[in-house]
Chains A and B, each alone.
Chain A
Amino acid sequence: MRKPKDLLFEISRPGRRGYSLSDCDVPEKSLDSILPLALQRSEFPCLPELSEGEVIRHYTELSTRNYGVDTGFYPLGSCTMKYNPKVNEEAAAIPGFASLHPCQPENTAEGGLELLYGLEQALKAITGMDRFTLQPAAGAHGELTGLMIIQAYHRNRGDIKRNKVLIPLSAHGTNPATVSMAGYEVVQVPCDERGLVDLEALKEVVDGTVAALMLTNPSTLGLFEEDISAMAGVVHEAGGLLYYDGANMNAIMGYTRPGDMGFDVVHLNMHKTFSTPHGGGGPGSGPVGVKQRLVPYLPVPLVDKKNGQYCFNYDLPESIGKVHSFYGNFGVLVKAYTYIKMMGAEGLKQASGDAVLNANYLMHKLKRRYQLPYDRVCKHEFVLSARAEKKKGAGAGDIAKALLDRGFHPPTVYFPLILEEALMIEPTETETRETLDKFATAMVAIADDIDNDPEKVAHGPYKTVVGRLDEVRAARSPVLCWKKNE
Chain B
Amino acid sequence: MGGKHYLPLTEEDRNEMLSVIGAGSVDDLFADIPADLRFKGNLELEPAMSELEVLKHLQQMADKNRHFQNCISFMGAGIYDHYIPSLVSHVTGRSEFYTAYTPYQPEVSQGTLQTIFEYQTMICQLTGMDVANASMYDGGTALTEGAIMGCGATRRSRVLVSRSVSPFYRAVMRNYFNSRGLIMDEIPLRDGCTDREALLNMIDENVAAVALQQPNFFGMVENMNGLANIIHERKALFLVSVDPISLGLLQTPAEYGADIVAGEGQCLGIPASFGGPALGILAAREKYVRQMPGRIAGETVDSEGNRGFALTLQTREQHIRREKAASNICSNEALLALAASVYLSAMGPQGVREVAEQCLQKTSYAREKITAINGFELVFPGIYFKEFAVKLPVSPEDANLHLLKKNILGGVDISQFYPELDQTMLFAVTEKRTREEIDILVGELEELK
Considering the chains assembled together, what is the distance between the CA atoms of A204 and B421 in angstroms? 56
B124 on the A face (CB < 8 A): yes
12 more A-B residue pairs beyond the given contacts A173-B325, A277-B98, A342-B3, with a C-beta to C-beta distance below 8 A: A47-B348, A55-B345, A100-B65, A102-B275, A137-B138, A176-B323, A257-B39, A280-B102, A280-B334, A461-B107, A471-B106, A480-B296
B97 on the A face (CB < 8 A): yes
Could you show 14 A-B contacts with beta carbons less than 8 Å apart? A4-B306, A7-B114, A12-B348, A18-B348, A19-B85, A22-B431, A69-B95, A253-B43, A280-B335, A328-B276, A340-B45, A345-B44, A376-B32, A473-B301
Q: With A39-B383, A283-B336, A344-B48 known to touch, is A65 a contact of B111 (CB < 8 Å)?
A: yes
Tell me which residues from 40 to 83 in chain A have a Cβ below 8 Å from any Cβ of chain B: 40-42, 44-50, 52, 55-56, 58-60, 62-71, 74, 76, 79, 81-83
Considering the chains assembled together, what is the distance between the CA atoms of A60 and B37 in angstroms? 49
Contact among A257, A357, A474 with B26 in the assembled complex (CB-CB below 8 Å): A357
Would B331 and A282 count as touching, CB distance under 8 A?
yes
Tell me which residues from 175 to 229 in chain A have a Cβ below 8 Å from any Cβ of chain B: 176-183, 186, 223-224, 226, 228-229
What residues on A are CB-neighbors of B435 within 8 Å?
25-26
Query: Smallest Cβ distance from A244 to chain B, in angstroms?
Result: 13
What residues on B are CB-neighbors of A8 within 8 Å?
118, 345
Most buried by B among A327, A339, A478: A478
Query: Smallest Cβ distance from B103 to chain A, in angstroms?
Result: 7
A interface majority secondary structure: loop
Would you give the 0/1 interface string for B384-424, flagging 1 where the beta carbon is closer than 8 Å to chain A? 01000000000001001100100001001100000000000
Query: Smallest Cβ distance from A267 to chain B, in angstroms?
Result: 12
Considering the chains assembled together, what is the distance between the CA atoms of A183 and B151 in angstroms? 14
Would B303 and A459 count as touching, CB distance under 8 A?
yes
B137 on the A face (CB < 8 A): yes
Tell me which residues from 221 to 271 in chain A have a Cβ below 8 Å from any Cβ of chain B: 223-224, 226, 228-229, 252-257, 260-261, 271
Q: With A110-B65, A341-B49, A357-B18 known to touch, is A409 a contact of B105 (CB < 8 Å)?
A: yes
Would B110 and A42 count as touching, CB distance under 8 A?
no
Q: With A39-B383, A101-B79 known to touch, is A254 a contact of B43 (CB < 8 Å)?
A: yes
Considering the chains assembled together, what is the distance between the CA atoms of A174 and B49 in angstroms? 35
Query: Smallest Cβ distance from B260 to chain A, in angstroms?
Result: 15
Most buried by A among B30, B36, B59, B99: B99
A294 on the B face (CB < 8 A): no
Contact among B59, B134, B336, B338 with A94 in the assembled complex (CB-CB below 8 Å): B59
Tell me which residues from 248 to 286 in chain B have a Cβ below 8 Å from any Cβ of chain A: 248-252, 255, 264, 271-278
Would B68 and A101 count as touching, CB distance under 8 A?
yes
Would you give the 0/1 interface string for B292-311, flagging 1 where the beta carbon is closer than 8 Å to chain A? 00011111111110111110
What residues on B are CB-neighbors of A89 within 8 Å?
93, 98
B17 on the A face (CB < 8 A): yes
Considering the chains assembled together, what is the distance between the CA atoms of A480 and B299 in angstroms? 7
**Smallest Cβ-Cβ distance to A344: which chain B residue:** B48
**Smallest Cβ-Cβ distance to B51: which chain A residue:** A87
Would A341 and B306 count as touching, CB distance under 8 A?
no
A27 on the B face (CB < 8 A): yes
Closest 7 CB pairs of A and B: A326-B275, A96-B62, A344-B48, A102-B275, A279-B335, A66-B111, A281-B334
**Smallest Cβ-Cβ distance to B69: which chain A residue:** A95
Bin chain A's interface residue count: 35 or more
Q: With A22-B434, A174-B330 known to touch, is A324 a contact of B180 (CB < 8 Å)?
A: no
Considering the chains assembled together, what is the distance between the CA atoms of A71 and B223 in angstroms? 51
Considering the chains assembled together, what is the distance between the CA atoms of A92 and B274 in angstroms? 11
**Smallest Cβ-Cβ distance to B101: which chain A residue:** A278
What residues on A are CB-neighbors of B125 within 8 Å?
45-47
Would A341 and B2 count as touching, CB distance under 8 A?
yes
A388 on the B face (CB < 8 A): no
Tell me which residues from 33 to 54 in chain B have a Cβ below 8 Å from any Cβ of chain A: 33-34, 36-39, 42-51, 54
What residues on A are CB-neighbors of B199 within 8 Å?
none
Would A354 and B62 count as touching, CB distance under 8 A?
no
Considering the chains assembled together, what is the distance between the CA atoms of A26 and B298 in angstroms? 44
Considering the chains assembled together, what is the distance between the CA atoms of A103 and B426 in angstroms? 11
Would A41 and B334 count as touching, CB distance under 8 A?
no
What residues on B are CB-neighbors of A93 within 8 Å?
89, 271
Considering the chains assembled together, what is the distance between the CA atoms of A68 and B70 in angstroms? 35
Would B298 and A91 count as touching, CB distance under 8 A?
no
Would B137 and A138 count as touching, CB distance under 8 A?
yes
Would A481 and B32 count as touching, CB distance under 8 A?
no
**Smallest Cβ-Cβ distance to A262: which chain B residue:** B37
Would you give the 0/1 interface string for A330-363, flagging 1 where the beta carbon is closer than 8 Å to chain B? 1110100011111111111111011011101100
**Smallest Cβ-Cβ distance to A269: which chain B residue:** B331
What residues on A are CB-neighbors of B90 within 8 Å?
56
**Smallest Cβ-Cβ distance to B431: which chain A residue:** A21
Would A481 and B120 count as touching, CB distance under 8 A?
yes
Would A97 and B65 count as touching, CB distance under 8 A?
yes
Query: Smallest Cβ distance from A193 to chain B, in angstroms?
Result: 16
B289 on the A face (CB < 8 A): yes
Contact among A7, A176, A332, A346 with B322 in the assembled complex (CB-CB below 8 Å): A176
B332 on the A face (CB < 8 A): yes
What residues on A are CB-neighbors of B221 within 8 Å?
35, 39
Tell me which residues from 68 to 105 in chain B have a Cβ below 8 Å from any Cβ of chain A: 68-70, 73, 75, 77-79, 81, 83, 85, 87, 89-91, 93-103, 105
Would B346 and A50 count as touching, CB distance under 8 A?
yes
Q: With A70-B96, A138-B331, A475-B313 known to touch, is A349 a contact of B121 (CB < 8 Å)?
A: no
B203 on the A face (CB < 8 A): no
Q: With A2-B304, A87-B51 known to touch, is A101 a contact of B67 (CB < 8 Å)?
A: yes
What residues on B are CB-neighbors of A431 within 8 Å?
8
Considering the chains assembled together, what is the distance between the CA atoms of A128 and B9 in angstroms? 28
Tell me which residues from 126 to 146 in chain B have a Cβ below 8 Å from any Cβ of chain A: 126, 130-132, 134-135, 137-141
Considering the chains assembled together, what is the distance between the CA atoms of A129 and B18 in angstroms? 33
Considering the chains assembled together, what is the distance between the CA atoms of A12 and B42 in angstroms? 58
Would B354 and A321 count as touching, CB distance under 8 A?
no
Considering the chains assembled together, what is the distance between the CA atoms of A97 and B65 in angstroms? 8
Would B131 and A85 count as touching, CB distance under 8 A?
no
Tell me which residues from 132 to 150 in chain A have a Cβ below 8 Å from any Cβ of chain B: 137-141, 143-144, 147-148
Query: Smallest Cβ distance from B61 to chain A, in angstroms?
Result: 4
B206 on the A face (CB < 8 A): no
Would B328 and A341 count as touching, CB distance under 8 A?
no
Would B9 and A281 count as touching, CB distance under 8 A?
no
Would A52 and B45 count as touching, CB distance under 8 A?
no
B171 on the A face (CB < 8 A): yes
B213 on the A face (CB < 8 A): no
Considering the chains assembled together, what is the distance between the CA atoms of A257 and B37 in angstroms? 8
**Smallest Cβ-Cβ distance to B329: which chain A residue:** A140
Considering the chains assembled together, what is the distance between the CA atoms of A451 and B417 in angstroms? 68
Q: Which of the candidate stretches B190-198, B228-236, B359-367, B372-380 sits at the interface with the other chain? A: B359-367
Would A350 and B4 count as touching, CB distance under 8 A?
yes
Considering the chains assembled together, what is the distance between the CA atoms of A47 and B442 in angstroms? 37
Would A254 and B323 count as touching, CB distance under 8 A?
no
Q: With A41-B250, A101-B79, A482-B118 known to touch, is A279 a contact of B97 (CB < 8 Å)?
A: yes
Query: Smallest Cβ distance from A446 to chain B, in angstroms?
Result: 15
Query: Smallest Cβ distance from A465 to chain B, in angstroms?
Result: 6
Would B17 and A329 count as touching, CB distance under 8 A?
no
